[in-house]
Structure 1
Amino acid sequence: MADRTKQEIRFNAFDMNCVGHIQQGLWAHPRDQSHRFNEISYWMDYARRLEEGLFDGIFLADVVGVNDVYGGNADAALKGAAQVPVNDPLLLVPAMAAVTKHLAFGVTANLTYDAPFLFARRMSTLDHLTGGRIGWNIVTGYLDSAAKAIGLDQQAAHDDRYDLADEYMQVVYRLWEESWADNAVRLDRENHLYADPAKVHAIRHEGKQYHLNAMHLSSPSPQRTPVLYQAGSSTRGRQFAATHAECVFVNGQKMEGVRAIVDDIRAKAVELGRSASDIKVFMGATIVTGKTAKEAQEKFEEYRRYVSSEAALVHASASLGIDFAKYDLDEPIETGKSNAIVSNIEAVSRSAGPQWTKRKLLEQMVLGSRQPPMVGSAEEITDQLMAWSQQAGIDGFNLSRTVVPECFDDIIAHVIPILQERGVYKTGYREGTLREKLFGNARLPKSHMAASFRQNRQ
């Protein structure tokens, strides 16, 4: 294992364009400002705050369906604001980019329900407007309600969705990497030549799912392909991540379990001809901290008073594909074969045992989610973060909000200075695009499968 004692730790704020994201119920806290998610000024201030605090980026989750598995309807989700209402995350980016220079934006977009031709243009546009600060979290969805919303009876099977995603990626790679040559744009005013037609090529793709004959509508953006994020930890998801992802998002559980997932993804990437260093791993984390351990514990106990157990079960039901409303507290839960987020089922089974119950699940959700919070002084939190980095191979953390904005203010005021003192957090931003900041290269490396399409763009 490489020496990671001085490995730089990276922070993304983890949020969603909605009221209740991960820690269900905390929107009811009197100091929480997430109810302002419809205000553009809220997000602009959010971005300024994160950049002043030297956060690497903001990672915006998304769903395109409603959490209606619990009780068989959306009533509890609506009452508890469990990821509904939810607005489009991509539309926030230009406003936040306009008031920042370095902050990056990881946006979740479900490829299952979005035509690759139009989506590729949307991401190229954002890459242009942000000066190369955009990343895409590749998801295939997990809600039947999303499939029904576009006219299908139900979503495709879990592994079938990944098969579709592999082909989707080929199409968007070709649009981003192949269609326009690097020197296609001439901007020759004297000869009235903006782009050289000989340097712009139509992409022809005839596949099982997609058929395309078109040139990419956007000229090459700073990164061409956005930085690629992926959050699948299931067996099929890990293979997809090893093939495509540059940044992998994992959920915290026992350290040895996370280490095994990280090692497996990187080993699979090496088998595909990539380098283990081509992949950065971000772990989901929730931090409650203060000037002292006592202050942090008091804040934690205060937050707990606003947790909604029902809304937490609504979210868990949707992501696990299990209607918890049907079970008594101590009735053994039958997981069967889930078509939702398979890695979540696997994680719960590891932490609660094979015969887990609703009571066991609720005992884990102390702040309204299955993500156990880190509670303590800045020194204690720093110790934990560095342990994860050094022992589990974690490169950074997606920090889910509790009570905003104070949860991030606390991290900026208390934790980041200690990390800086220990030499594992930046004291200023590097110049360049998001990919340059993460990997030192503006474009995908030659080892990535997308690079194979570049030879056709001369």
Structure 2
Amino acid sequence: MSELNLPREIRFNAFDMNCVAHQSSGMWRHPLDQSRRYNELSYWTELARLLERGRFDGIFIADVLGTYDVYEGSNEAPIRHGAQVPVGDPLMLVSAMAAVTEHLGFGVTAGTAYEHPYPFARRMTTLDHLTKGRVGWNVVTGYLPSAARNMGHDDQMAHDERYAHADEYLEVLYKLWEGSWEDDAVLVDRENGVFTDPAKVHGINHKGTFFTVPGIHISEPSPQRTPVIYQAGTSPRGVTFAAENAEAIFVAAPTKESLKKSVASIRDALERAGRDRNSARIYTLMTVITDATPELARAKYEEYLSYSSEEGALVFMSGWMGIDLSKYDVNEPVGNVQSNAIQSVVSHFQQGKDDGAEWTVGDIGKHSAIGGLGPTIVGSGEQIADQLQEWAEEADVDGFNLAYAITPGTFEDIVEFVIPVLQERGAYPTEYVEGTLREKLHGRGRRLPVEHRGASFAV
């Protein structure tokens, strides 16, 4: 229990993607799974209504711009398994979901490697206007070599260089969002025929290593100006980047102990960046299989396993780790490998299991077939609530980024069986906080706080 013996509040995001197989490989074959409707607007609007009914903070929509062709050095396996291919643009979904909800937040993923920040600034400002300030941006630097090749490069930039590029990308955006238009620039003065006062709109005059942007932001300021910044980097360089920029941080770890270490390093880094240890909400990836009783939940999990694909899981893990796992025997330990992809994924598995045993390639395939990078917990609503509270307390996380085994069934089960238990315990909100996404997450104003890096560019 936390201060004054009050239960620690737990927060939920729904983790989805504009594709068929997101984290749990093979589950698109299940007769109740509706992920095949990813290209139907009604799937997304129905899901948004469900999540708002469950008082989720938001829906976090992942994205990739390439295929998971690290496994066997080919597109064949990811295409066959539907492993995040085909995939659609996440930003296109937000307006429709916002139109059928009042409070749900939207965290959309977009990379810094292949789109210039100038047009991207306008797209995010547009979404922030249309959602009345409920949009966030998950900043990714990219990790799939296939994306780099299709954008005309031999390979992606080296890991740390991608973050140097992203640092300047964010600087350009902060200048556009925070420093180009003064708060009272838009006059709408019908009598004198002045819509905007030109003296209060400023070019940003940016000239850096990667970008030259002399002009103004061509969109007027939106409710939050800068969308809520999400980040998921947990490598040493990624943690530094997150500490300087992120307001919500997503982590993924297969064990409680490795998660606890990651969270502690992030909170330490926030302090080093001159921010409070709790200035960013930290959500960890989790998949929940639940039902009215423990026996029904276990039976559901076993049924799901019968549809899962271990090869599909290794396709994902090869892309996330930057290692072709098809080259290894299933009994071979992960070992001491170097990665130019998501370094934290390799690091977590190298730390071993909770019982100290080494992870083998086969273990990774079985572990991630349902749930992907995060753990999967199974039980009744009460048992799941117990486990979530235990993870939150022991690892010092604020909430959970909930992946699905089947959709929307996994989310429906959480709303029906888990959330009421947490609410009865006083550990989950019963109503939304009013205001923008930033206000809902942090209980402060709609603008970036003064200690945030981006606030230093405000006009």
Q: TM-score per shorter chain, which class?
A: over 0.9
The one-letter code sitting in structure 2 at the alignment partner of 1:448 is H
Q: Determine which of 385, 398, 409 is the counterpart of 2:412.
A: 409
Structure 1 residues without counterparts, runs of 5 or longer: none
Residue 293 of structure 1: aligned partner: 294
Change in Cα spacing, 1:358 to 1:263, as seen in structure 2 (3 Å) is closer
Q: Does 1:447 align with 2:447?
A: no
- Which region of structure 1 is more displaced relative to structure 2, 50-59 or 66-75? 50-59
Q: Does 1:431 align with 2:431?
A: no
- Which region of structure 1 is more displaced relative to structure 2, 264-273 or 84-93? 264-273
Pairwise CA distance, 1:269: 1.5
Pairwise CA distance, 1:409: 0.7
Change in Cα spacing, 1:262 to 1:150, as seen in structure 2 (3 Å) is same
1:219-269 per-position Cα deviation (integer Å, ceiling 9, x unaligned): 110001110110011111111111111111011333232222222212221
Measure, in 2, the Cα distance between the counterparts of 1:101 and 1:363.
39
Pairwise CA distance, 1:425: 0.9
Measure, in 1, the Cα distance between the counterparts of 2:267 and 2:280.
7
Measure, in 2, the Cα distance between the counterparts of 1:389 and 1:123.
31
Change in Cα spacing, 1:404 to 1:109, as seen in structure 2 (3 Å) is same
Measure, in 1, the Cα distance between the counterparts of 2:144 and 2:357.
24
Residues 361 and 370 in structure 1, CA contact (< 8 A), matched pair in contact too:
no
Pairwise CA distance, 1:362: 2.4
Residue 16 of structure 1: aligned partner: 17
- Which region of structure 1 is more displaced relative to structure 2, 154-163 or 3-12? 3-12
Name the SS of the counterpart of 1:436 in structure 2: helix
Residue 55 of structure 2: aligned partner: 54
Q: Determine which of 381, 388, 395 is the counterpart of 1:385.
A: 388
Measure, in 2, the Cα distance between the counterparts of 1:355 and 1:56.
36
Measure, in 1, the Cα distance between the counterparts of 2:368 and 2:266.
28
1:399-451 per-position Cα deviation (integer Å, ceiling 9, x unaligned): 00111111111100110000100001111112100000011220110000111
Change in Cα spacing, 1:370 to 1:186, as seen in structure 2 (3 Å) is closer
Change in Cα spacing, 1:355 to 1:301, as seen in structure 2 (3 Å) is closer
1:3-44 per-position Cα deviation (integer Å, ceiling 9, x unaligned): 384332111110000000001111110110000111111111
Q: Determine which of 366, 369, 372 is the counterpart of 1:369.
A: 372
Residue 203 of structure 1: aligned partner: 204
Name the SS of the counterpart of 1:217 in structure 2: coil
> 1:167-246 residue pairs with structure 2 within 5 A?
167-246=168-247
Residues 285 and 373 in structure 2, CA contact (< 8 A), matched pair in contact too:
no
Query: How many residues of Structure 1 are paired with residues of Structure 2 in the alignment?
Result: 455
Residues 18 and 38 in structure 2, CA contact (< 8 A), matched pair in contact too:
yes
The one-letter code sitting in structure 2 at the alignment partner of 1:347 is H
Name the SS of the counterpart of 2:352 in structure 1: helix
Name the SS of the counterpart of 1:404 in structure 2: coil
Q: Does 1:420 align with 2:423?
A: yes
TM-score by length of 2: 0.96
The one-letter code sitting in structure 2 at the alignment partner of 1:254 is T
Name the SS of the counterpart of 1:113 in structure 2: coil
Measure, in 2, the Cα distance between the counterparts of 1:225 and 1:7.
29
Q: CA RMSD in A?
A: 1.6
TM-score by length of 1: 0.96
Change in Cα spacing, 1:53 to 1:333, as seen in structure 2 (3 Å) is closer
The one-letter code sitting in structure 2 at the alignment partner of 1:323 is D
